[in-house]
Amino acid sequence: MSKLFMRKAQTMLIALALSGTVTVHAKDYDVVLKGGRVMDPETSLDAVMNVGIKNGKIAAVTTDKLSGKEIINVKGLVVSPGFIDTHQHSFELPDGRLAAQDGTTTHMELEFGRSPVAQAYDIIEKRGGHPINYGFSSSWPMNRATVMKGFKGEATFSGLTQAFAGWGAEVSNPEQEKQILALIQKDLDDGAIAVGFPPAYGSGAGMKEAIKLWKKAAANNVPVSVHVRYQSMLDPNSSVEAMNEMLGLAASSGAHALLCHIQLVGLSDPYMMLDVIEAGRKSGLKLTTEVYPFGHTAPPISADYLKWENSDERIGFKWNEIRTVKKPHYTFKDKTDFQKHQKEHPLDFVQMEYIDESSPEGLAAMRAAVTFPETIPASDGTPIGWKGKPKDGDKLGLGSGVDVWPLPKDAGGQPRTTSTHAVILEKWVREQGALTLMQAIRNSTYVPAKALEQHIPQFTTKGRLQVGMDADITVFNPKTVKANANWDDVTALNDGFYHTLVNGVFVLKNGKIITDALPGQQIRRSPNSH
């Protein structure tokens, strides 16, 4: 056989492999998505193609006709990599389902984390799994509460809220600091994918401990997910000051920083703070930003930034417009009423508006955050509550009291898990034209995958729509995507999302949640990856 023939045959095989048609025999595909507008943010592919899925992987992306066990006609719809959410606090079954109907195929608790992290993963595995992929950082607040306050709670959302009482009110002594860092190292050895570092809720902790924590993250090759210390438009203790402090930690440690919800930190005056982040990037610091596109927020009432006498001026809300998250909502009369409730119910969550998007100034502030380069839409979702819901929903699986779908009409909470990506696609792509469709998809898929793959190898096969990638896929109509959930009705599902597949399994199919689908896999670090 001539060398020329071998070279030609080799070239043909490479071309076939790139088209995806050589991967498996045509009839062997488990699912075929036929005739959709395939958009891949890494290669900028934007074309009508057929996608073949086999054994949880994308096995073909081609214009060739494909056949398989199940063929879904997606003509006129976008076929995109599934969205990756770096900031989700609750992992009950409804949270995974709400995320799936918003196009999300992976969500992670990186800001606060869970500890012990091995227990957090075990809880979901023992209950039978989760609708979408999931992962956890090591929780600085929970580990600190264990050492400083004798906290003995579980690695659940309920445990996290219990740990929040006073976890960061004082500086650790050398022995305490050693114990805190040892617990974080144990979490990293057990698979934690980042370190959750929210000094905005524990501003009494010392800077020396913080520097050692960041250096530990760098030594273990994991990012630090940080909610910076202050949340204020006013000096002193402004968001600009807080962001400069964070830059110092990143510079002195070499750690990669994931900056939580820059629109919430920047409030209605984000411009100088965004300039600070951009300058840090240009100087070589590893800084990845995230945003949720809502002018309302729902923090714990005990947050340090709600304890200033002039929190309303610093943040931009009105005391008599804050209300409790729990239904029936209670709206506070004034600052005195709020502070009384703050002392009596320190574990409650409250809702407030901090950016008025109906004003030109507010809309411009949100636009600045949403369009900031390489910024990930991340939901910052918390559990949905309803009358009669059992406690510790993290531990309950199919057939339990949290396995309710559709959700009860009296459900309360916030709409971010339900509609973060729908808002981006509806408002900021279609209505405002602030992002192109490819930019929006890239921010929700390839940007988080690329940021995290340097730490977690699992992300090398996520965030792209290419042969060999994980079959985490969302299919939607960009012309009809609509966010219907709001702060009074968190159960209203989006329009325009048709299918969401996680590891090749439908969680959303023809616009309906598949309630017994639990194909989510752990996103978990190998101790040998650093």
How many structural domains compose the chain? 2
Lowest mean pLDDT among 25-34, 107-116, 286-295, 445-454: 25-34
Q: What is the CATH number of the domain that holds 288?
A: 3.20.20.140
Q: Give Dmax over CA atoms of the chain in angstroms.
A: 89
Task: Taking residues 21-31, report their average pLDDT.
Answer: 64
Whether residue 15 is predicted with pLDDT greater than 70 in this model: the reply is no
Residue 528 has pLDDT above 70, yes or no: no
- 448 and 476 share a domain? no
pLDDT of residue 12 exceeding 50: no
What does the pLDDT average to over 126-138?
Answer: 98
What mean pLDDT do residues 65-94 have?
98
Q: Nearest to residue 251, comparing CAs of 221, 217, 225, 214? A: 214
| Mean pLDDT, all residues of the chain | 94
Same-domain pairing of 76 and 151: no
What are the CA-CA distances from residue 465 to residues 34, 104, 495 (Å)? 14, 14, 23
For residue 87, is pLDDT > 50? yes
150 domain residue, yes or no: yes
Bridge partner list, 352: 297
pLDDT digit string, tens, across residues 310-363: 999 999 999 999 999 988 899 999 999 999 999 999 989 999 999 999 999 999
pLDDT band at 145 (very low <50, low <70, confident <90, very high): very high
Q: What is the CATH number of the domain that holds 498?
A: 2.30.40.10
Beta strands in 167-238 (DSSP E): 195-197, 224-226
E-strand stretches of 55-201: 57-62, 68-73, 78-81, 83-85, 104-109, 133-136, 138-139, 195-197
Beta bridge partners of 323: 331, 351
Q: Among 38, 104, 43, 115, which Cα is nearest to 380's?
A: 104
pLDDT at 239 over 80: yes
CB 448 within 8 A of CB 376: yes
Distances (CA, A) of 227 to 110, 197, 200, 239, 431: 10, 7, 6, 11, 30
pLDDT of residue 327: 87
Model confidence at 526, in pLDDT bands (50, 70, 90)? confident
Kind and range of the H or E run holding 133: strand 133-136
Does 177 lie in the same domain as 37? no
pLDDT at 22 > cutoff 60: no
Q: Does residue 503 have a pLDDT over 50?
A: yes
User: What pLDDT band is residue 527 in, cutting at 50, 70 and 90?
Assistant: low
Do 129 and 93 belong together in one domain? yes
Quote the tokens at residue 127.
Answer: 């209950």
CA 28 to chain centre: 34
Q: Model pTM greater than 0.85?
A: yes
Distance CA 158, CA 382 (A): 11
User: 453 near 459, Cβ under 8 Å?
Assistant: yes
Q: Are residues 198 and 159 in the same domain?
A: yes
Please check whether residue 311 lies inside any domain of the structure: no
- Do 97 and 164 fall within a single domain? yes
Over 70: is that where the pLDDT of 25 sits? no
Q: How far apart are CA 336 and CA 23, in angstroms?
A: 67
Q: What is the pLDDT of residue 4?
A: 35
The answer to whether residue 13 scores a pLDDT higher than 70 is no
Place 20 in a pLDDT band, splitting at 50, 70 and 90.
very low
Whether residues 95 and 204 fall in one domain: yes
The pLDDT of residue 3 is 39
Looking at the fold, whether 78 and 217 belong to one and the same domain comes out as no
- The residue range of the domain holding 444 is 83-297+357-392+414-461
